[in-house]
Structure 1
Amino acid sequence: MKNTYRTVMLPLSALILLAGCMSVGPDYTPPSQPSSQFPASFGELPAGLAPGNVEVEWWRVFDEPALTALIQRALVANLDIGIAAVRLEEAQAMLRESRQGFLPRGGPALGYENRRGSDVETSPGQSRQNETYRSALDASWEIDLFGRVRRSVEAGRAHAGSREALLRGVQAGVAAEVAATWFELRGLEAELAVVNDISRSQRESLEMVERRVSAQSATELDRLRAESLLRSVEAVAPELERRRATSVNALAILLGEAPQLFKLPATPPQREALTIRTIAVDNPAGLLARRSDIAAAERALAAATARIGVETAGLYPEIQVQGSIGFVAGSLDALGSGGTQSSFIAPMIRWNLLDIGRVRARIAASESRAQEALIVYDQTVLRALQETDNAFKANSAAGSTLKLRLQASTANREAARLARLQFSEGEGVYLDVLEAERSDFTSRRALTIARTNQRLAIVSLYKALGGGWEMCTREGQDCQPR
């Protein structure tokens, strides 16, 4: 027995040592961006942007506590985040399963066999009826000589990393979506305030025209025009109310609540002026490290590369060691006595030579998937650069548009005031008042929309920069989905 174990175990020990330093398939190296495709800097930055570390909790720059509270609630209760978190848990569980490939398989085995042999199989004088009882501990172990298990673990680890990056991306996206929905909601409320203010002014104008008509200093045509403008302004309110309700419902869903039960937090009137300090935008290299979609694409590439090794291992023999120790007896009473002890150890080599064609086809398929993952990574990087540049331009345009809208609104408001004053003093014609008030209404709504667009441009800028998810990695910050 000792010679048998020595004959078996010495070669096995050598195989185990060899298995620790051999893995077929390509070793993964992170992709590098060619200088011709990846800029070293964002170039000349528009006004209001500067190099520096990107703000993590960027929503605090708006100085709106209600918005901060809503984002923190969404990071815990949002269902998309919950789905991404569960998918990460699934990937981590699959990684734990793949690591079990390094360990033996098997366990206790109990068996009973009642067999009746034929006359040919039975010697004279022996019973044709045989009973066998077996109690043993069976085990098998794959010696990972060519790295199939190691590559599987490597692929599982990269897949879990990709899922984690996707979770961070969903968290950052939800924060940006909550902020955008909040500012759209606040913008609609500001538009409604403008409509109410203009409607009140138009009612006063209509009353003034009616008095002038009674005094025969204005015509019925003037009164009809004044009433028409009033009704046109009032007709805007129902659509704004509908859009406001839609935004409230969208905010409820982002927070994982039923729209019918959701209550908006109490907020003070929106400030007309928005003062934002210079926004730090870092550099393209920082964008690579911060954007979760880029990190997810890179980890997906690593997983695809490791799976090439998993498939390549199919070209080589699979070495297993099977063993068992236990008792075999002809009766249940005799089971467990010293004379019934049985054990064996059996190294086994399997080599599916007839499946080489299939294996090579799977290797080619895995190589194509890895090439696809590399292209997806490059595409993700380029799109990140595109989104960032677009966000820079949009932020600059929104700021310029807001300044021009402010100037136009100021001029139109003053023109409307002067037109009403002149008409009340008996000078000018009401058509001038009508045109001035219509321009005042249009420019004030445009100014409100421009303020909303400026806030949305800042949100889009931070989203393009990939900021926000880092908050969930801070110690003491609860971002775990409920």
Structure 2
Amino acid sequence: MKLRKLRKFSPVLLSLILAGCAVGPKYQAPQDAVGNDFLYSDVQGVAHSEKAVQSEWWLAFDDAMLNQLVEQAQKQNITLKIAAERIKTAQSYQKAIESFKVPTIGLSAGATSYQISENDPLAGPLVTPEGLGPQLGSLTGGDALIDNQYEFATVSANITWEADVFNRLGYQAESAQIRAEQAEILKQGMTTLITADVIHNYLQLRGAEQRKRIALETIESQQKTLKLVQSVVKSGYGSEVDLAQAKAALSMTRSVLPQLDIAQSVHKQRLAILLGETSSDMNQILTKGGELPDFSGVVPIGMPSEVLKNRPDIQIAEREMAAINADVGAAVANKYPKFYLTGAPGLLAGDFSDLFSSDSAAWVASIGVNWTIFDGGRSDALVEIQESRFQTAALSYEQSVNTAITEVETLLYAYGSSQELQSLTAETRVQADNTLSKANSLYKAGLVDYMTVLDAQRQQNLVKDREIAASLQTSQVIVGLHKALGGNWEVTQNTDTLEATETN
């Protein structure tokens, strides 16, 4: 009778399982009204494009060593390797959570032998001859009612399954999947940061090297001039003041060298960390100096909406909203009943040879439900916690969008200003060179004192240094602008090697 009732109930339960009674909020990705264009998007060196930054944009610096360092960093950087392992962890966690949606099946087998004690207060009389007394014992002919020793073998399976009627497990699996997606996005973002840091330190290193070369050239020129002044003073035509000023100018230029050496060392050490190399290995890689590379390309900028798709921080913020929305659904579903199906089919026989015969089949099946109908408001509070987390994630996403747009527009303005500064500095350099040339000519003709020449040299040296600083500033803004625009920065193919460049 009970089996018939169970069979009548099964179609009802099955229909619930198949139809699904998913509860909880449905997620909708945020729609942002960010306009169709950026402020200051008409600056020189910017190209309007449907797609923004793509990978390997730094090739426009046309520097083989830079390309080599970027490629090595993306392969060897320890932080990126850690991020890759976190992806594996998140994906394994996702598999573990999704496994709860399918039945759990366990197999067991064994052989058992046991003996009933004749002194057992309950079963003992049954296994003892005449243990039931003379009257009942006569009915069994003086033999025990049952044997006291038994042996049997079993093979069985244990099957359990939670019927996810209200999609609680589905929401948990969805949240775990999104967390795995976030781990991948995070690695992409770390690739961007590490690559930008490599480019930054490489440019700073080349800038320091170039400034040092200019300082050494200036020192050589000032030493020649000092000898000339000493000769003039010795002959009685020069001034001791001119001699003192020439020595002071030389000492001042020499004092810059230790600072530049420190800068070179710092940026080499930073590159070594980024590439996962030792300091000695980094010195081997950067044995030769080089010029500060110029960016020969243009910066492609898309629409603001394109930036929202390309920025890893915005992608992570949006995925955080989606993950927490799934957590809300799981918390809501947890308030509803949980249905369980269990089964244990098996084989049982007293003799191993009979174990796999049809008569040895045995099974147990059951349907269960678990429903917490009163918990003092705990379930409601857990739902409210998840809903509050979702609102916090939504506000964080909005803040990320505002920050991204502002950052791009600020860097666009800085890009235009840095290019203007670089152009003005180049014009100033031309004027400084002309001034020094005229001062030297006038000094040799005896029309001006040497103080005029020293002042012209000082101005030229200062302008050269500012010219490098302006070029560095423009390059750094270019790096920052590409980073602000987002996009995929992973190296997709082998870049040119340094040896190929040296051969050319």
Cα separation, partners in 2 of 1:363 and 1:123, compared to 1, 3 Å: farther
Residues 25-424 of structure 1 mapped to structure 2, 5 A cutoff: 25-33=24-32, 35=33, 38-48=34-44, 49-52=46-49, 53-56=51-54, 57-110=56-109, 122=123, 124-125=125-126, 134-262=154-282, 263-264=284-285, 269-270=290-291, 274=294, 276-328=296-348, 341-355=361-375, 357-424=377-444
Q: Residue 109 of structure 1 aligns to which amino acid in structure 2?
A: S
Q: Which residue matches 1:15?
A: 16
Q: CA–CA distance in 2 between the matches of 1:359 and 1:129?
A: 53
Native 8 Å contact 1:189 1:244 kept in 2: yes
CA distance 1:126–1:347, change in 2 (3 Å): farther
| Structure 1: unaligned runs, 5 residues or longer | none
Question: More deviation in 147-156 or 435-444?
Answer: 435-444
Whichever residue aligns with residue 14 of structure 1, its letter is S
Alpha-carbon separation, structure 2, partners of 1:61 and 1:468: 16
Alpha carbons of 1:310 and 1:172: their partners in 2 closer, same or farther (altered >3 Å)?
Answer: same
Bigger CA radius of gyration: 2
Q: Deviation per CA, 1:246-302, whole angstroms, max 9, x where unpaired? A: 111211222221222123357784268x46344221110110111121111111110
How far off its partner does 1:369 sit? 1.2
Contact 1:133 1:330 survives alignment (8 Å): yes
Deviation string 1:422-466 (CA, Å, 9 cap, x unpaired) is 223322222222222222222211111111111111111111111
Report the more deviating stretch, 449-458 or 253-262. 253-262
SS at match of 2:447: coil
Query: SS at 1:368's partner residue?
Result: helix
Q: How many residues align?
A: 469
Contact 2:324 2:389 in 1 (8 A): yes
CA drift of 1:39 comes to: 2.6
- Of 114-123 and 257-266, more deviation after overlay is shown by 114-123
Contact in 1 for aligned 2:209/2:289 (Cα 8 Å): no
User: Under a length normalisation based on structure 1, what TM-score does the superposition of the two structures give?
Assistant: 0.89
The 1-side partners of 2:298 and 2:167 are apart by 52
Q: Normalised by the size of structure 2, how large is the TM-score? A: 0.85
Query: In the superposition, relative to structure 1, how do residues 447 and 226 fare at CA in structure 2: closer, same or farther (>3 Å)?
Result: same
Q: 1:443 aligns with which of 460, 463, 466?
A: 463
Letter in 1 for 2:96: E
Distance 1:294 1:477, change over 3 A: farther
Distance 1:70 1:206, change over 3 A: same
TM-superposition CA deviations, 1:98-121 (whole Å, max 9, x none): 221221113013466979899675
How many angstroms apart in 1 are the aligned matches of 2:9 and 2:153?
28
| Alpha carbons 2:436, 2:460 under 8 Å: kept | yes
Contact 2:69 / 2:275 at 8 angstroms: preserved in 1? yes
SS in 2 for 1:304: helix
Deviation string 1:196-246 (CA, Å, 9 cap, x unpaired) is 111111101111111011111113332222111111101111110111111
Is the alpha carbon distance of 1:115 and 1:220 closer, same or farther for their aligned partners in structure 2, counting shifts above 3 Å? Answer: farther
Give the corresponding residue for 2:499: none
Change (3 A) 1:120 1:351: farther
Q: Are 2:106 and 2:159, in contact at CA under 8 Å, matched by a contact in 1?
A: yes
Structure 2 runs not aligned, ≥5 long: 129-147, 496-504
